């Protein structure tokens, strides 16, 4: 619909490009993915506001700006093989799908994962595959990845995800207690050498799983 096309371009100009995101792949992808199809139907009119929005299962679709910042930080390029942990609505996976060669997205809530998978089919994102499971373990059978993005905050960087990066691969993940999370970028330079950078304060829902938090908020083993 022309109205949503106008709002989407305005969102990219005002909320994303003007705030410093320069990666042309990210800007073009976000001008193309219809975020109004990834929110709860009654929220469609708010799809291009500068905020996260509630989705099913008490989760959220991330703020568009933070999606852009994370994908830019992960330096996703055409042909890349990408893992997204925390598929949620599927929006970020769809944006990644417009840039990368292949996207594997994993979600722990089955209902959310199924809905995201249906959206990929309906909107024609044939290179995006949504799986159900604990993303803190990654997807070892699909590794190595050029980039891994995690859309939920864990107590530390999961070892499994570091190990599933290819050499030169980039992992972007929020780390820390609720209310005190920072966005962390890990680059794998060799089999054993990883570099970590702090990209600033962020707010995300908790990463629940074997190498994340437990449901009761305690750190998992
Ligand atoms: N990328 C999503 C989008 O574009 O809508 C944002 C989703 S939300 C901020 C984070 C998601 O991570 C939630 O849907 C939550 O269920 C999921 N999640 C939390 N821990 C997870 C885990 N261990 N494995 C997979 N998904 C997880």
Q: In the chain, what percentage of residues exceed pLDDT 90?
A: 96
Q: Are strands 81-85 and 60-61 parallel, antiparallel or unpaired?
A: unpaired
71 CA distance to ligand 1 centroid (A)? 16
156 CA distance to ligand 1 centroid (A)? 16
Q: Is the residue at 25 inside a domain? A: no
Supply the pLDDT for residue 217: 87
Confidence of residue 197 (pLDDT cuts 50, 70, 90): very high
Which residue has a Cα nearest atom 11 of ligand 1? 86
ipTM of the complex: 0.99
- Report, as residue numbers or ranges, the catalytic residues: 62
Ligand 1 — pocket residues by CB below 6 A?
59-62, 85-89, 91-92, 106-109, 112, 134-136, 151-152, 204-205, 207-209, 212
Q: Is the residue at 179 inside a domain? A: yes
Mean pLDDT, range 76-98, rounded to an integer? 98
Q: Is the residue at 81 inside a domain? A: yes
Separation between Cα atoms, residue 82 and residue 77, nearest integer Å: 10
Supply the pLDDT for residue 68: 98
Per-residue pLDDT of 100-144, as tens digits, reads: 999 999 999 999 999 999 999 999 999 999 999 999 999 999 999
Q: Is the residue at 207 inside a domain? A: no
CATH of the domain at 163: 3.40.50.150
Q: Is the residue at 176 inside a domain? A: yes
Supply the pLDDT for residue 59: 95
Which residue has a Cα nearest atom 27 of ligand 1? 86
Supply the pLDDT for residue 181: 97
Q: Is the residue at 4 inside a domain? A: no
Provide the residue range defining the domain that includes 75.
65-202
Answer for the pair 64, 50: CB distance below 8 angstroms, yes or no.
yes
Which pTM does this prediction carry? 0.97
Separation between Cα atoms, residue 95 and residue 108, nearest integer Å: 20
Per-residue pLDDT of 18-31, as tens digits, reads: 999 999 999 999 99
Which atom from ligand 1 is nearest to the alpha carbon of 109?
A: 16
**How is the chain split among helix, strand and coil, in percent rounded to 5?**
35, 25, 35
Which atom from ligand 1 is nearest to the alpha carbon of 55?
A: 5
- Tally of domains in the chain: 1
Supply the pLDDT for residue 19: 97
């Amino acid at each position: 619909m022309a109205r949503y096309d106008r709002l989407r371009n305005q969102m990219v100009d005002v909320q994303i490009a003007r705030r410093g995101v320069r990666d042309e792949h990210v800007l073009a992808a976000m001008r193309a993915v219809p975020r109004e199809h990834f929110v709860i139907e009654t929220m469609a009119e708010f799809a291009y506001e500068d905020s996260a929005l509630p989705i099913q299962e008490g989760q959220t679709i991330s703020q568009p700006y933070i999606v852009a910042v994370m994908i830019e930080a992960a330096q996703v390029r055409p042909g890349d093989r990408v893992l997204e942990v925390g598929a949620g609505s599927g929006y970020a996976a769809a944006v990644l799908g417009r840039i990368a060669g292949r996207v594997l997205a994993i979600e722990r809530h089955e209902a959310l994962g199924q809905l995201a998978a249906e959206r990929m089919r309906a909107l024609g994102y044939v290179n995006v595959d949504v799986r159900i499971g604990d993303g803190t373990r990654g997807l070892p059978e699909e590794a190595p990845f050029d980039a891994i993005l995690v859309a939920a905050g864990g107590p530390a960087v999961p070892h499994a995800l570091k190990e599933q990066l290819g050499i030169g691969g980039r992992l972007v993940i929020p780390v820390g207690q609720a209310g005190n999370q920072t966005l962390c970028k890990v680059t794998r330079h060799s089999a054993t050498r990883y570099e970590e950078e702090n990209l600033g304060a962020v707010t995300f829902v908790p990463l629940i799983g074997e190498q994340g938090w437990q449901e009761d908020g305690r750190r998992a083993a």
